[in-house]
Amino acid sequence: MAGNYADRDGQIWMDGALVPWREANVHILTHAMHYASSVFEGERAYGGRIFESRKHSQRLRDSGEAIDMPIPWTVDQIEKAKHDVMQANGLSDAYVRAVAWRGAGEDMGVSSSRNPVRMAIAAWEWGAYYGDSKTRGAKLDVSKWKRPSPETIPSHAKAAGLYMICTMSKHAAEAKGCADALMMDYRGYVAEATGANIFFVRDGEVHTPEPDCFLDGITRQTVIGLLRDRQISVHERHIMPEELEGFQQCWLTGTAAEVTPVGEIGPWRFEVGELTRNIAESYETLVRS
């Protein structure tokens, strides 16, 4: 589904009701626009079923709690809203975006406790996040920006403010002809891509950064489960950048990315190997089962 996201046919669920897509608007003094008081979820539906839907709905509420913004809809209400959006738009395979934010109200400063918490859910058709990288392997830049310490921001929340440096990193990567960028954390360890977790393979064993200062993705958790079901060793640990030279394979995971092979990161090269292909196929089978 191409074109301007503000100018489309269809329905968006907003604060308890379906409204025409073009009318799903907010005021210019919406608190989230000025102070990033917003959390969101990205989800994919396959054959009419959103994969791990309830986990996403619960995480949305948990993220709201983490940034002192309790969301006034239950998991069951969010689940029904997502179903209504899919049905209203006649979608079966789709990307679903749920977002909650502090709206416009009595407060227009850093404090926003008197402003209402609002929520919207939209869905649309969306293909491969990294284009043809699923077959040839994505090319990644190395970002100059680092994931911050969890002492500076609730890094376990899927909060809008955490993505500013991701946007900047991805823009810089795209300017170099790359699909994405690898980010280190505040200590210099390998962290993640701008919107996806990362895995490496060495001698048949899998290594992935410990998510102690970035989001432990639902797809990441799913893939670790698939690997362990196959009796493949998975090491969740701190990884130094210089270790990348010794890894043979690499892939990204995320709701949008699904399982996407990586062919190169800066000066390092990786093969799109058998384990990478097998895990990508297993994930595809699982989400459509």
Q: Where in the sequence numbering do the catalytic residues fall?
A: 158
For the chain, percent helix, then strand, then coil, each to nearest 5? 30, 30, 40
Return the biggest CA–CA distance within the chain: 59
How does DSSP classify residue 143?
E
- The angle formed by the CA atoms of residues 92, 97 and 98, to the nearest 5 degrees, is 120
CB within 8 A of 176, min separation 6: which ones?
141
Q: Which token pair is 94? A: 């789709």
What residue type is assigned to position 112 of the chain?
A: S
Nearest to 16 by CA among 72, 62, 54: 72
